[in-house]
Structure 1
């Protein structure tokens, strides 16, 4: 099958981020991220309530501690001491229990959001046209779904609750500190402005590094996909490129080490400086309490309770600042995910699909169809008009690259024509649901793809409800049943990666059986027998001749012996029709077909 131009460029270490990528990462709004959680308002509200309750209850501990130091111990009041200690234990037990419930609910919500992101991206990519996958590296697609979404997990599962928990704790702690001593509270909060400034700087650095790291991970995925797939391994062994692949993988992995270190150490010295300042605050508090103007105004219990609260305040404050850094750096991940979710669907279901109310006859027509592959200035098909009555056979012949397989791809609506239209029973293919069209048109191409599962499941992939009897019937028609039945595990034999358990001809016949199992009204055979030997080809051709009765068949073949009995033979050259007619009439004309048949 002819393929559109493929982008062969590869990111290297020196490649810089494009302006479009920077713009896209910048434009990812927190509102859009927040919409991911809209469906989970109730559990998030419950989590918030639990967090507030837990924070308020936890604030009782410093006050209980003050009473222990200032009253119970000096007065040797054992009863009061027991009650105060029991209260401290109860506070710890209740807050711990609430923490478990909070973690369970928030993790559940986070995992459901992750599930939605994964399925949304996978579903949207499934709707993309073949053109998207021909210009996109497979490893890049896999990296978006695994590495990028996986990297967002901590943000999605814990960010909302971390913000709520730390914010609530910080507010409650600040109120309690002010209740104990508003003067000391002012001393404790002097570090906030520089802390916020430094945090913003660190967040910006990590965001840029995260974007670079994810692109490098995508490159690493591409190397694994290209180097460790069965086809890639065979190519590297036959071409002797194994050492080069190892060197390429090693270089990419080395760059990842550098990026990971930079990500972890970005702004670390700034945050270390803040930690030192935070640690010095208790010393300032003790100094403030000992100054002549404040000496004797604070009890020891109040001072101890205040320093305990102060330590408890800086933890949520640092937590909030850390969440800000994490959220900002994760915007690069969200940008990459939203980029795929925002991809336009080039070949999609119509807004108002035509419902098939009568059995499909299979009358196929091309009406002045023109098509060029994306990025190509030359039309692969130009002004093609064809009429294939229901139940007849059409053969497309011509040199490699003439446009035959492009015509087959248009019939299956892997692409949409740029001009003109293609109809089945008078209905434009673009007016049919893709699922309905897939039930009408069956394609067997020269590029056979089998799933890494059993023969039975490979065949049932085309028709999940098919019985074992129907599966065997399709295999008999494709002249492959006897071979499968002779295997030790029969139809339960695993075909291996991309079907490498079988020869090219055997894979081709399994693919033919898979298509026949769907019983399509229009059968497209794109070099479907190209991998078969002469005797097997004759056997499969006889099966096709039998199955083609009452079915519209479009056959593409280089071997003219397989198409000479077609009702209509069309010679294609550079996307245009040169000749059309029966075998006898075309040979008698002495044109291009006669040259090919000679």
Structure 2
């Protein structure tokens, strides 16, 4: 269970992390109740069932009193049978009500959780690339899975337990007063010290448990980092295995002591509660023996009173933790709403223009383009480029010159902060994102493959693609032969992050995946960087073939990749400082010529 679940009790004190979350991002009760508004009828039935169950269960002690005081002394078999049958009836009714109540509350919680989870996933899908570069992946997953999953407890545990505990406490108190107001007053005197003692022990256990949870989280991180494919590879290449093993051993050793202390604290809590459960009835028995406090109480009344008193302690403790439960629940919703309220930086156009793949020619134009992640530090300034339909533009320059950022503006991975980018005269910000994805295909140097079969990875780009179309795209990317040679062919699972294939093979799969979409504009961000020279030459020949009739924007670090481009734009500090063909720029003798003559020699251009 996530450590932010409302079910986590802290001995009466809200978790500081929950308080910080609510301070940073307050939530309104109206918004939370709005989530459950469509289910108000079901929730009303749940509350009614809780009240009914509590009321019915209160009949049990009175039935016991009637058996002891009337049926047994009078040897009234008929009355005895009726009372016993009523006891069994009460047990059956409360059990059935409990099942129905659990079913209804769980169903409501699951439906609300499903709606929240789906809406949040769709909302996060609409976030810009910048959001995911700023945010830890584990944090996104935690909010989407753990926090929303724990939200189930708000309905099935926190809300229902508050209603049930309140009903039980009020009903039990009234019933105890009806049986014996003198012993009821005595219980009011005895219970508070017992409750305070139990809460104090609970707080001690919470402190130990919280520390154990932190160390356990450290252990999980070490396992994830040390035993993942990438982690093992890094550890072996750095020779860091002894150091990681020593660190893991130290954390595991700390957990031994914390686990012992946690178990002892838990045992002390149980021992305290057992003492309370024994001491309070003992005090009541003692009081019942004195005429001043007994009020001529019958044996049946005493037994019934003790039974009622025994049901009062746990719900009373639950009510004393209401503040903690509500704070934890609000913090949970705060974390969910914080992500749900994130502004969408790359939004769908209000009045979209239409440009279908069948109608697109692929002319790309950058007009006065400026971009900045930070307003005070522009990445691109005053970029004016025209890429005619079907032509090739190569972007070169030093690392950090803005090449990848400029190319990312075409598929709207980022939005310009000045100027505009258009395809066939239509600003990309005016196109529906689905249409833009059909028009622009992107292959980057960082290939991502899912842990699925080759076929499923390729169909991710186009779910309706036939097997023949998939194989044709792989032939174009020079990967069909390799896939066919595998024992399971296109059903081969690529492995975690594609580790089943080499870097070059992964890139060829990525290119095949993009070609399957048949885009009008192709953006290649160092797409051949992981290929050897021979494979690159074969793939470049293929890209020359498939690029005919489509516009290609290439970012490359190899001279062989850019020398045949129709235009080469040289970027420096976010500006285009040179523009022309390979021969024209060499004759110019400027920055491009310096890049060619630089440390990458005759075969590479600085990226």
Normalised to the residue count of structure 1, the TM-score between the two structures is 0.85
2:11 paired residue number: none
Shift of 1:90: 1.5
Alignment check: 8 A CA contact 2:528 2:536 kept: yes
Shift of 1:151: 5.3
Structure 1 547/270 Cα, relative in aligned 2: closer, same or farther at 3 Å?
same
2:368 paired residue number: 368
Hey, what's the Cα distance between the residues in 2 that align with 1:83 and 1:295? Answer: 29
Alignment check: 8 A CA contact 1:139 1:223 kept: no
Alignment check: 8 A CA contact 1:140 1:222 kept: no
User: Root-mean-square deviation (CA), in Å?
Assistant: 3.6
1:7 paired residue number: none
Q: How does 1:549-564 map to 2 (within 5 A)?
A: 549-564=548-563
1:349 paired residue number: 348
1:237 paired residue number: 236
Alignment check: 8 A CA contact 2:202 2:269 kept: no
1:487 paired residue number: 486
Alignment check: 8 A CA contact 1:203 1:328 kept: no
Structure 1 211/582 Cα, relative in aligned 2: closer, same or farther at 3 Å?
farther
Structure 1 471/295 Cα, relative in aligned 2: closer, same or farther at 3 Å?
closer
Alignment check: 8 A CA contact 1:69 1:301 kept: yes
2:424 paired residue number: 425
SS in structure 2 at match of 1:535: helix
Structure 1 551/202 Cα, relative in aligned 2: closer, same or farther at 3 Å?
farther
Alignment check: 8 A CA contact 1:452 1:494 kept: yes
Shift of 1:538: 2.1
Shift of 1:569: 1.4
Hey, what's the Cα distance between the residues in 2 that align with 1:202 and 1:25? Answer: 31
Hey, what's the Cα distance between the residues in 1 that align with 2:257 and 2:435? Answer: 51
Specify every segment of 5 or more residues in structure 2 that has no aligned partner in the other structure, as ranges. Answer: 1-14, 598-607
Hey, what's the Cα distance between the residues in 2 that align with 1:419 and 1:263? Answer: 59
State which drifts further: 527-536 or 547-556: 527-536
Shift of 1:68: 1.0
Hey, what's the Cα distance between the residues in 2 that align with 1:319 and 1:20? Answer: 20
Hey, what's the Cα distance between the residues in 1 that align with 2:32 and 2:351? Answer: 31
1:3 paired residue number: none
Number of equivalenced pairs? 582
Shift of 1:525: 0.8
Asked if residue 584 in structure 1 is aligned to residue 583 in structure 2, the reply is yes
Q: How does 1:53-72 map to 2 (within 5 A)?
A: 53-72=52-71
Q: How does 1:500-539 map to 2 (within 5 A)?
A: 500-539=499-538
Structure 1 135/247 Cα, relative in aligned 2: closer, same or farther at 3 Å?
farther
Structure 1 237/332 Cα, relative in aligned 2: closer, same or farther at 3 Å?
farther
Shift of 1:260: 7.8
SS in structure 2 at match of 1:306: helix
Q: How does 1:22-421 map to 2 (within 5 A)?
A: 24=23, 27=26, 32-149=31-148, 154-190=153-189, 222-249=221-248, 276-277=275-276, 279-295=278-294, 297-322=296-321, 324-329=323-328, 333-356=332-355, 359-374=359-374, 378-421=377-420
Shift of 1:248: 4.5
Hey, what's the Cα distance between the residues in 2 that align with 1:419 and 1:224? Answer: 46
Structure 1 388/48 Cα, relative in aligned 2: closer, same or farther at 3 Å?
same
Shift of 1:239: 0.7
Deviation readout 1:11-53 (Å, 9 max, x if unpaired):
xxxxx98999465378456655554433432322222222222
Shift of 1:551: 1.0
Hey, what's the Cα distance between the residues in 2 that align with 1:137 and 1:296? Answer: 68
Shift of 1:197: 7.3
Specify every segment of 5 or more residues in structure 1 that has no aligned partner in the other structure, as ranges. Answer: 1-15
Structure 1 175/324 Cα, relative in aligned 2: closer, same or farther at 3 Å?
same
Deviation readout 1:453-506 (Å, 9 max, x if unpaired):
111111111111111111011111111112211222111111122222222221
Normalised to the residue count of structure 2, the TM-score between the two structures is 0.84
Hey, what's the Cα distance between the residues in 2 that align with 1:35 and 1:196? Answer: 36
Hey, what's the Cα distance between the residues in 2 that align with 1:262 and 1:367? Answer: 67
Alignment check: 8 A CA contact 1:392 1:552 kept: yes
1:5 paired residue number: none
SS in structure 2 at match of 1:593: helix
Structure 1 216/556 Cα, relative in aligned 2: closer, same or farther at 3 Å?
farther
Structure 1 305/214 Cα, relative in aligned 2: closer, same or farther at 3 Å?
closer
Deviation readout 1:401-429 (Å, 9 max, x if unpaired):
32211212222222222222222223332
Hey, what's the Cα distance between the residues in 1 that align with 2:18 and 2:50? Answer: 42
Shift of 1:565: 2.5
SS in structure 2 at match of 1:37: helix
Hey, what's the Cα distance between the residues in 2 that align with 1:164 and 1:232? Answer: 48
SS in structure 1 at match of 2:344: coil
Hey, what's the Cα distance between the residues in 1 that align with 2:123 and 2:212? Answer: 24
Alignment check: 8 A CA contact 1:449 1:498 kept: yes
